[in-house]
Structure 1
């Protein structure tokens, strides 16, 4: 067999704020006839795709063990066909057709945007956060830096990206303690690895430079 089912619980543990899995409340109500989505991973990539998310209709459930039939048309997995029987477990279910009570928090993780430097994403480390007044509904106003960037780096827009806040939470979710604080505010990580608020941040200089 040239494919296997991805353990989405393990993937969620690795990326807890950007890889959604259904809540236990949703999993518990699944029964015969319901449609669930599984992630089928091939041994080789096709067109850059290592996995395909496809729908399976449940035909039998015994606790955490399921049987179902594939209802989606595979794209790059040649030994999978529509109607094929699939054996799977709870840890393979990455989506359902039910409205998830926990979906609001996932909407926040996905839809709330922040500005982050490429150095943060390269190092998977950030040590400085600044919240300006947001521009638009999804913009949080936060800018996140590693602390190693110089002015030339930061002033080059090619070195900055707009990403979902979940990307940063995957690196360090301790910022949840203050991420909802109203602008204007700035935080820096101290020598103990903890963030503290910069009470005397020079906002006048920052705002003037932003205008320029």
Structure 2
């Protein structure tokens, strides 16, 4: 069954330059299509290829394994694009690979001490 074109929550013409980076990241459709705030984010070591990868991965935090295992539910974006969806991620973007953050009950990002780096 062919994919229907994604209808983004923020039209591309409304994306503003919020950070000085062209690096990429992966984000789920819960953020970019459904308009949810980032609820969980982690940074892996960036892929070493011709594409400028930041290593950042952004999720709403309510995606289950079935959702995450479907590649149609996430895409590659510039980190700046995801900053437009949720500017509260900006102070964490210089965190080193291996770090993860989750929103607490007050809506603030805190380190996710229980998170473990995914296996390749």
TM-score of Structure 1 vs Structure 2, range by shorter chain: 0.7 to 0.9
**2:31 alignment partner in structure 1:** 120
List structure 1 runs of 4+ shifted beyond 3 angstroms: none
**Counterparts of 2:103 and 2:112, CA distance in 1:** 10
Match of 1:134 in 2: 46
| Structure with greater helix share of residues | 1
Query: How many residue pairs align between the two structures?
Result: 104
What is the aligned partner in structure 2 of residue 193 from structure 1? 107
Structure 1 residues 196, 180: closer, same or farther in 2, change over 3 A? same
3-state DSSP class of the match of 1:183? coil
Counterpart Cα distance in 2 of 1:147 and 1:201: 13
The alpha carbon displacement at 1:200 in A equals 2.8
Deviations 1:110-145 (A, max 9, x none): x21010111211222220101111103510111101
Structure number with the bigger relative contact order (C-alpha 8 A, sep ≥ 6) is 2
Kindly provide the CA deviation profile for residues 34-78 of structure 1, in whole angstroms up to 9, marking residues without a partner as x: xxxxxxxxxxxxxxxxxxxxxxxxxxxxxxxxxxxxxxxxxxxxx
TM-score when normalising by structure 2:
0.77
List runs of 5+ in structure 2 lacking aligned partners.
Answer: 1-13
Give the counterpart of 1:145 among 59, 73, 77: 59
Q: Which whole-Å CA distance do the structure 2 matches of 1:172 and 1:166 have between them? A: 10
* SS in structure 2 at match of 1:169: helix
Structure 2 matches for 1:70-109, cutoff 5 A?
105=20, 108=21
Cα distance in structure 1, aligned partners of 2:28 and 2:78: 13
CA distance in 1, matches of 2:43, 2:61: 15
Aligned mates of 1:113, 1:198 — CA distance in 2: 22
- The answer to whether residue 78 in structure 2 is matched with residue 167 in structure 1 is no
Q: Which structure would you say has the larger Rg? A: 1
CA shift, 1:202, in A, is: 2.6
**CA distance in 2: counterparts of 1:173 and 1:180, whole angstroms:** 14
